A and B are shown apart, each in its own frame.
Chain A
Amino acid sequence: MATIREKGYSHWDGALVERKLPWWPITRTGIQLAFRRKHFKFFFSVSFLPAVVFLVGIYISERIEDFKFMIQGSENLIKINPAFFKTYFTNDFLLFMMVMLLVFSGAGLIADDLKHNALQLYFSRPIDKKDYFLGKAAVIFFFILALTLVPGLVLFVMKLVFSGNFKLLTSYPWLLPAIIGYSALLTVFFAFYTLLLSALSKNRRYVTILIFAIYIFSDVVYGITFGIFRSPYVALFSLKANFQQAGAVIFGQRLPYAYPGYLSFLVLFGICAVSAAVLHRRIRGVEVIK
């Protein structure tokens, strides 16, 4: 005969907060964990070096008479215009440091969950796959925007402050949207790129190598194929070249490679689309069939 058990507990009667950002706990944990990694704070700080140098450049550009002895013949280099911002956003060092930050903050985002079977902990709670992806992607958004949009806006505002007028704004009204647009492009691309690679392995070390190697190797492939074919189109193999080409289009500058700029957008968005498809397949309720 079955035992009749009476409900001997009562539930908490406080109000539950309706979470507008259900993915936020995932993001917060991801950011916290990144800052706990060895040497991460150092790399993160060093990543702001270009921003500091460009900020000094803006200051000098407004005190050109005071620094004339330093910049003889180099006045054109510190003209504050869209080219100046394009140079900041597409410089090799900044892109390299972004990849380094992805290695530290992004390699384990999904790989660690796959390794520990943590997906079942997430998906048995009130969040879905979309929230999971958003939470993980937002970690990348945080770090890449910290190196692109935030310094870009600071440089823009500081130019207005140092010059004491709105000439930059009135001369180049599309510059602010360009800063936001290029930052968004880099952020979205790097989020897909990192999450894709992180979802391909359970081993964080392999993912670290992949993130770094694919970025470098794509440039090497470009160098080799250009040496053989002498075609500018082979620059499409290089992630860095595509960023620089897309950056030139967005900031309205002369294209560094002799092929239509939209092709670089196609390559970058194509990689994002493939990443989304792979992620959709990789992240699901996992059942081990032995």
Chain B
Amino acid sequence: MTAVIETRNLSKWYGNVLGLSDVSLGIEPGITGLLGPNGAGKSTFMKLLTGQLKPNIGSVSIFGRRIWNDFGTFAKIGFCPESDAFYEEISGLEFLTGLLSFHGFSKAEVRARAAKALDIVGLTGDKDRKIRGYSRGMRQRVKFAQAIAHDPEIIILDEPLSGLDPLGKRKLIHLIKDYRDQGRTVLVSSHVLPEIEAMTSHIILIHQGKILAQGDIHYIRDLIEAHPHVISIKCGDPRGLAAKFVNEPYVLKILFGSSGDSLVVETHKRDAFFGRLNQVVLESALRVEEITSPDDNLQAVFDYLVGK
């Protein structure tokens, strides 16, 4: 697949403060999660991608065209900012029609698109209510609606799930996945790692203005040699199982769970461990109830990479 968004040596600073440093990457269609702590440079990165900021060094290309001052390309991007960006005195429908007017659609098309976008986010019944009276979740949804109303090929979402109730989150995640399935490119930032995990395993991890990692979360986890894999096994005879692994050179540590029915193994060769585990289970007819990898997730990767 070719990258839809490409950055080359992208750098941005504000006076003495570094916003982003030498970022070169490509983002392909599908959902990509943008992760990083506060002040990492996520918003700067998104604003550079949406053409709101001019890079000090480097460039951003969308479909092969440089984004800065290219208004034709702006129309291909839908941006949902993190903060509330509303005139409180207008209705959701007026908010959308006002923003859609910038794109050059006819009046009828503007109205139709606004109505459709509000329908997609489930705000049809509240479209004529003033935004002042919207709940936090409704505000998030109307913000999302303005990002998709002009049918963009690239959707950039800055913390889109914050403020939504669990049901609202589920609906929005479903909607974002729909856009992915249509072949669009979605870039989502979030502080809440399970939210990103629920949408995608493809991430960009940004910290102190630099890209720490990009790619599939499990693949990235495998690349982190400094931290051994942690594998938890719940079974009927954890001590008997531990005895079979004590002499294996790739096993670094074995711990027993306090309830007495599990053990936690640390290994730097996960594939070798699982190969041997299969063998042991088959040979000894051991009843294994559960195998989990507590650190094979986004939180662990995030923590390892940012050095927590």
Q: Do these two chains really belong together in a complex? A: yes
- What residues of chain B lie closer than 8 Å to A123, measured between beta carbons? 51-52
Contact status B183-A125, CB under 8 Å: no
Known: A18-B104, A287-B19, A290-B38. A29 touches B90 (CB 8 A): yes
Contact status A121-B90, CB under 8 Å: no
Contact status A287-B53, CB under 8 Å: yes
Contact status A7-B1, CB under 8 Å: no
- What residues of chain B lie closer than 8 Å to A122, measured between beta carbons? 102
Contact status A116-B79, CB under 8 Å: no
Contact status B99-A16, CB under 8 Å: no
Residue B135 CB within 8 A of the other chain: no
Contact status A17-B181, CB under 8 Å: no
Contact status A17-B106, CB under 8 Å: yes
Contact status A25-B87, CB under 8 Å: no
Known: A2-B1, A121-B85. A9 touches B103 (CB 8 A): no
Contact status A12-B43, CB under 8 Å: no
Residue B7 CB within 8 A of the other chain: no
* Size category, A interface: 35 or more
- A29–B91 alpha-carbon span in the complex (Å): 12
Residues in B228-266 with C-beta less than 8 Å from chain A: none
- What residues of chain A lie closer than 8 Å to B84, measured between beta carbons? 116-117
The closest CB in chain A to the CB of B79 belongs to A124
Q: Is the interface of B mostly helix, strand, loop or mixed?
A: loop
- A23–B274 alpha-carbon span in the complex (Å): 63
Residues in A264-290 with C-beta less than 8 Å from chain B: 285, 287-290
Residue A254 CB within 8 A of the other chain: no
Residue A5 CB within 8 A of the other chain: yes
Residue B184 CB within 8 A of the other chain: yes
Binds A, one of B68-76, B164-172, B296-304: B68-76
Contact status B1-A121, CB under 8 Å: no
Q: How far is the CB of B42 from chain A (nearest CB, A)?
A: 11
Contact status A289-B102, CB under 8 Å: no
- What residues of chain B lie closer than 8 Å to A12, measured between beta carbons? 109, 151
Q: How far is the CB of B104 from chain A (nearest CB, A)?
A: 4
Residues in B70-98 with C-beta less than 8 Å from chain A: 71-72, 74-75, 77, 79, 81, 83-87, 89-90, 94, 98
- A281–B17 alpha-carbon span in the complex (Å): 18
Q: Is the interface of A mostly helix, strand, loop or mixed?
A: loop
The residue that A117 contacts in the complex, of B85, B90, B101, B181, with Cβ under 8 A, is B85
Contact status B28-A16, CB under 8 Å: no
Contact status A7-B85, CB under 8 Å: no
Q: How far is the CB of B150 from chain A (nearest CB, A)?
A: 9
Known: A2-B28, A16-B105, A290-B39. A116 touches B86 (CB 8 A): yes
Known: A9-B183, A25-B101. A14 touches B43 (CB 8 A): no
- What residues of chain B lie closer than 8 Å to A127, measured between beta carbons? 71, 102
Residue A8 CB within 8 A of the other chain: yes
Known: A6-B183, A121-B85, A124-B50. A11 touches B98 (CB 8 A): no
- A29–B88 alpha-carbon span in the complex (Å): 12
- What residues of chain A lie closer than 8 Å to B51, measured between beta carbons? 123-124
Residue B33 CB within 8 A of the other chain: no
- A2–B84 alpha-carbon span in the complex (Å): 35
- A121–B101 alpha-carbon span in the complex (Å): 13
- A152–B51 alpha-carbon span in the complex (Å): 44
Contact status B50-A5, CB under 8 Å: no
Contact status A124-B52, CB under 8 Å: yes
Known: A285-B52, A285-B53, A287-B19. A5 touches B30 (CB 8 A): yes
Residue B36 CB within 8 A of the other chain: no
Known: A33-B89, A121-B146, A126-B74. A7 touches B182 (CB 8 A): yes
Residue A213 CB within 8 A of the other chain: no
Contact status B79-A117, CB under 8 Å: no
Residue B47 CB within 8 A of the other chain: yes
- What residues of chain A lie closer than 8 Å to B99, measured between beta carbons? 25, 121, 125
- A289–B184 alpha-carbon span in the complex (Å): 31
Q: How far is the CB of B231 from chain A (nearest CB, A)?
A: 24
- A289–B19 alpha-carbon span in the complex (Å): 8
- What residues of chain A lie closer than 8 Å to B77, measured between beta carbons? 124
17 A-B pairs (CB sep. < 8 Å): A11-B151, A16-B104, A16-B105, A17-B105, A19-B104, A25-B98, A28-B101, A29-B90, A29-B94, A36-B89, A116-B87, A117-B85, A118-B86, A120-B79, A121-B79, A126-B71, A126-B102
Nearest 8 Cβ contacts at the A-B interface = A126-B71, A25-B101, A16-B104, A7-B183, A124-B79, A118-B85, A285-B53, A117-B83
* Interface, chain A (partner B; CB < 8 A): 2-9, 11-12, 14, 16-19, 22, 24-25, 28-29, 32-33, 36, 112, 116-118, 120-128, 285, 287-290
